[in-house]
Structure 1
Amino acid sequence: MTGKPKLYYFDGRGKMESIRWLLAAAGIEFEEEFLETREQYEKLLQDGALLFQQVPMVEINGMKMVQTRAILSYIAAKYNLYGKDLKERALIDMYVEGTTDLMGMIMQLPFQPPEAQEKNLALIIERAATRYFPVYEKVLKDHGQEFLVGSRFSWADVHLFEAILMAEECKPDILSSFPQLQAFKGRISNIPTVKKFLQPGSQRKPPADDKLIAKVKKIFNI
């Protein structure tokens, strides 16, 4: 396949949203094919397109890529968002893994039973404030640069920015005691490609609502 990358997923955030974010931050336009029915998903399975019978799946440069981490690593490397050497790449990987852990907790919240959501929301806020954001606050302070790794914008910055926005949906003032992260958020939000993706009408997805959750459960039999 040549031309724009094509993303296969449901019309919502899930694991695909970080892929959308990274492509957008790199300034790469992409197309999407939304899974609306169980039959569409089964067709992808029957065609052998889903190596491990899972989405996300991205068609890019003649490949049908699956596994979120592999897709993100490829995009980051291809578009020079993966550091200048192995040391920087290792740091980027560590920071991305941390934000992925936090984002995974937030991502799962709408799919949990109502009686569990309040408890787990409190846990997310506690973990963000005491385990994850203090790390990035210290990294930015000690590093003394505009970005997390080296002196240029990377995948780690995109991922942390997305995580901040997700955490703020859980608690709007969650950055109140993190001045470095507040400044970081302001800087990243003004990068032209990021600023464009934040605008209404972009391919950025809203938080999952009840209608989307019901559709996803039907498509994947969960």
Structure 2
Amino acid sequence: MSGKPVLHYANTRGRMESVRWLLAAAGVEFEERIMKTKDDFQKLRTDGSLLFQQVPMVEIDGMKMVQTRAILCYIAGKYNLYGKDLKERAWIDMYVEGTTDLMGMIMALPFQAADVKEKNIALITERATTRYFPVYEKALKDHGQDYLVGNKLSWADIHLLEAILMTEELKSDILSAFPLLQAFKGRMSNVPTIKKFLQPGSQRKPPLDEKSIANVRKIFNI
């Protein structure tokens, strides 16, 4: 396949949102084939498009790629967002895994019962401010650069900004004790390609509402 990457997923953030972020930050235009029903998902399964019967799936460079981590690694490498050597790549991987852990907790919230959700919001806030964000604050201080790794934009920076914005949706002042992260957020949000993605009308997805949650439950049978 040539041309724009094609993203197959529901009309929601989920695991595909980080793929949208990375492509957008790289300045790559992409198309979306939105699954609207359970039958749409089943069709992808039965026609052999999904290696492990799961989405996200991205058609890119003649491949039908599945597994979020594999997709993101490929895009980061293809568009020079994955460091200059193995050591930088290792740091990017570590930073990305941390933000992936944090975002995974947030992504699960809409599907939890109200009492569990309330408890987990408190846990996420505590983890963000004591386990995750201190790491990135220290990294920026020790590194002394505008970016987490090397001195150029990488996947780690893009993923961290996505995580920050997701966490701020839970607690708007979550960065109050992290001045370097506040400055980082401002810098990254003004990278031209990212700034464009953050504008209304972009392919960035909003948080799930009740209607969207019901639709996701139907499509994925959860």
Q: Establish whether TM, by shorter chain, passes 0.5.
A: yes
Residue identity (%): 75
Q: Tell whether 2:176 aligns with 1:211.
A: no
Q: Distance in 2 between matches of 1:92 and 1:133?
A: 15
Q: Distance in 2 between matches of 1:202 and 1:12?
A: 13
Q: Distance in 1 between matches of 2:163 and 2:188?
A: 13
Q: How much has 1:114 moved relative to structure 2?
A: 1.4
Aligned partner of 1:29 in structure 2 is: 29
Q: Tell whether 2:130 aligns with 1:130.
A: yes
Q: How much has 1:74 moved relative to structure 2?
A: 0.1
Q: Distance in 2 between matches of 1:191 and 1:40?
A: 36
Aligned partner of 2:198 in structure 1 is: 198
3-state SS in 2 of match to 1:33: strand
> What's the CA shift string for 1:15-65, capped at 9, x where partnerless?
000000000000000000111011111110001111111100000010000
Q: How much has 1:220 moved relative to structure 2?
A: 1.2
Q: How much has 1:221 moved relative to structure 2?
A: 1.1
The one-letter amino acid paired with 1:190 is N
TM-score normalised by length of structure 2:
0.99
The one-letter amino acid paired with 1:164 is I
3-state SS in 2 of match to 1:170: coil
Q: How much has 1:87 moved relative to structure 2?
A: 0.3
> What's the CA shift string for 1:78-100, capped at 9, x where partnerless?
00000000000000000000000
TM-score normalised by length of structure 1:
0.99
> What's the CA shift string for 1:186-206, capped at 9, x where partnerless?
110110000000001000000
Q: Distance in 1 between matches of 2:210 and 2:180?
A: 35
Aligned partner of 1:185 in structure 2 is: 185
Q: Name structure 2 gaps, 5 residues minimum.
A: none
Aligned partner of 1:89 in structure 2 is: 89
3-state SS in 1 of match to 2:150: coil
Q: Distance in 2 between matches of 1:27 and 1:79?
A: 9
Structure 1 residue ranges, 4+ long, deviating more than 3 angstroms after superposition: none
Count, aligned residues: 222
